[in-house]
Structure 1
């Protein structure tokens, strides 16, 4: 591109125009681009924050990789734990027994997933001990003790030290049919991970108690593994499945919650598309601005054409002018969006305190604070999308400028 095209395009951008309405439309286009880009970056950061927070909370009660028998209990689990714990990249292994049961306290009854665990080994595969709100996970060493999710305990009306009855469907056979097993447990702890499905439907008991209660003998439902990099769990699980063969079924945490994370990914994509429309509206303002500038500069364009400037150069001049508007608006939007995303955890509480409102009530939502996690690649993608839309917006007005007939434009001058 020749220097004079760049020089004229920049001069048109910064020159004081006779038509103040054109300047107003230009300012509107820039502000629209700033608002759209900043809002898109901030919303993407919030979506990333929600995704990261939910992943962390899910991993606090689930392990990275699960190894189960195909419809059969894992019998020689102590040897299996030692063998799996020795694999490269594995930082912990623990057995578990899992079954559906009913918990009751007088007339209050609630269904739950009951897991039998070894408290000493369980701390090596999840962060449940950090989510204990009352009592302790170690107290499960006491026979016939139980740890409940806080919401589940509230539904049953119990606290630490209270007694509840566990009703197991794996009962004994009598002349009257199969009768469920009933066993009284003492509540020794309450946990809360901030996800209602876990807090209201999950309970832990001692591994030995679970084996006796559910008729597992010396077997367990499966083994949990903790690895160094949780995000490498899919590849690790695939390799492990090949090593141990079809007698066992290996599942990683992304498969366990596959639908949930697919929904989050889809929601993030939809939000990106919807908020990109704000940037598209700002790009339409660039079209309006350049059309008015072309109309205002018809005489200048005609003079340039008469002295030998080609239609392609005229197109380049106005594309440069539109690109400058897009670049300036995108740059300011990126700066504003990054600053907003980094300060959301501070700004939201300040707004809540100022206007006496609460955006995320802890009684309704599992996350009571608006999280934010800025990803550099999201900023890059937003900036590229904004620049592409602003460049596309310059094509028609620039082409229209190149089609102006010099004789017609100068007829009445």
Structure 2
């Protein structure tokens, strides 16, 4: 024993020796077979957890980014629904918040879009193109000539690609807008109709908006729906992830007559569903780690049975039951730590290079996991987050440690006299 190792507690030295020089079925090796299986199981479970949660985070980020390209970080609406008489003053007051970088007025109304016998429900959004490009990214991606066509009095519209496909219209065609609030006549309430020119199409990458959204100039929208003022104001923040806290600040400063609605509340159902899915996947995959961790019980029980004579000799030489217990805790904890670290490296390696690994597998199998004609996202996204990785690591280590308690306690209870009787 060298000078360095002699300074270490003998429980640590013996436990490490048992781990790397185990004996199963008469075979000697660097590590016992069962310990290796337990270590591999822990590593695969940890890696699977990291990879799956990273991919789920990646999909969530992709959908969120596409959603935020269309919706504003925060919307300001009036409590009565009539809009704001002095929308410029409201925009100026909102911009006083340091987190707000841009603001734009808008009109939002439900309507029907018709062409021939085809009719679809739509959300008509009246915008000021110059200001709207500062608030949402997808309007900035529209060709300049399409944005330029949205002028006051032109009654030009830009349709989502899915909506245009459902109506069977192309650029240059005309569609009919049916406003829900109509005119009162002796024959009853008649809906108001307006012929509109299709100036362009957009593809935001989010089906819900591509299938329902219609853009037009804000003044044209006010004339069609007979609104005296815009419906509200859309805001863009420096950091969209801080929308909830900034919304609370704005609600306190703008007063009770203004409804402040951030993007997380507008899509609350979707985000809640994603969180539930992540929790369930975490629980299910954690069971894999638990099964692998508790394989350590079998490993240590077999080791204790095989080392009964060694334990008896150590007890005879003065080792306490606590020291004997420490030896096998070290052995089990070593397997758990090595398995967790191996899974951590494996999981991060795959999660950080999934954009290379998945295409290679697709080429090898001649298949496509995310066909472009079916899914909006054609590549496998991944977003490893420390908030997921740390709990996985700690839970794996805790399970491995708990699994060592019973076999270690059993080893500490061995009677030296009985153990040496048949040796």
In the other structure, the counterpart of 1:411 is 421
| Residues 357-396 of structure 1 mapped to structure 2, 5 A cutoff | 357-396=367-406
Shift in Å, 1:20 = 5.1
TM-score (norm 1): 0.95
Aligned pairs, number = 412
**What's the secondary structure of 1:226's corresponding residue?**
strand
| Residues 307-386 of structure 1 mapped to structure 2, 5 A cutoff | 307-386=317-396
Moved more, 152-161 or 206-215: 152-161
Shift in Å, 1:131 = 5.1
How many angstroms apart in 2 are the aligned matches of 1:27 and 1:134? 63
Determine if contact 2:309/2:420 at 8 Å carries over to the other structure. Answer: yes
Cα separation, partners in 2 of 1:408 and 1:248, compared to 1, 3 Å: same
Shift in Å, 1:89 = 2.2
Determine if contact 2:312/2:419 at 8 Å carries over to the other structure. Answer: yes
Cα separation, partners in 2 of 1:100 and 1:245, compared to 1, 3 Å: same
> What is the Cα-based RMSD across aligned positions, in Å?
1.9
Moved more, 321-330 or 228-237: 228-237
How many angstroms apart in 2 are the aligned matches of 1:352 and 1:163? 44
Cα separation, partners in 2 of 1:64 and 1:261, compared to 1, 3 Å: same
How many angstroms apart in 2 are the aligned matches of 1:393 and 1:208? 70
CA offsets 1:98-146 (integer angstroms, 9 cap, x no match): 1111111212211111111111110111112255489733321261111
Cα separation, partners in 2 of 1:16 and 1:312, compared to 1, 3 Å: closer
In the other structure, the counterpart of 2:169 is 158
Determine if contact 2:344/2:393 at 8 Å carries over to the other structure. Answer: yes
Structure 1, unmatched stretches of 5+, are none
Structure 2, unmatched stretches of 5+, are 1-6
Determine if contact 1:146/1:205 at 8 Å carries over to the other structure. Answer: yes
Determine if contact 1:117/1:206 at 8 Å carries over to the other structure. Answer: yes
CA offsets 1:230-260 (integer angstroms, 9 cap, x no match): 1221111111111121111111111111121
In the other structure, the counterpart of 1:185 is 196
Determine if contact 2:104/2:135 at 8 Å carries over to the other structure. Answer: yes
Q: Does 1:19 align with 2:22?
A: no
Shift in Å, 1:80 = 2.4
How many angstroms apart in 2 are the aligned matches of 1:69 and 1:186? 31
Shift in Å, 1:203 = 1.2
**What's the secondary structure of 2:71's corresponding residue?**
coil
How many angstroms apart in 1 are the aligned matches of 2:368 and 2:56? 19
How many angstroms apart in 1 are the aligned matches of 2:143 and 2:286? 42
Determine if contact 2:24/2:33 at 8 Å carries over to the other structure. Answer: no
How many angstroms apart in 2 are the aligned matches of 1:184 and 1:412? 101
**What's the secondary structure of 1:141's corresponding residue?**
coil
| Residues 12-411 of structure 1 mapped to structure 2, 5 A cutoff | 12-17=18-23, 19=25, 23-71=32-80, 72-130=82-140, 132=142, 136-141=146-151, 143-217=154-228, 219-411=229-421
Shift in Å, 1:350 = 2.1
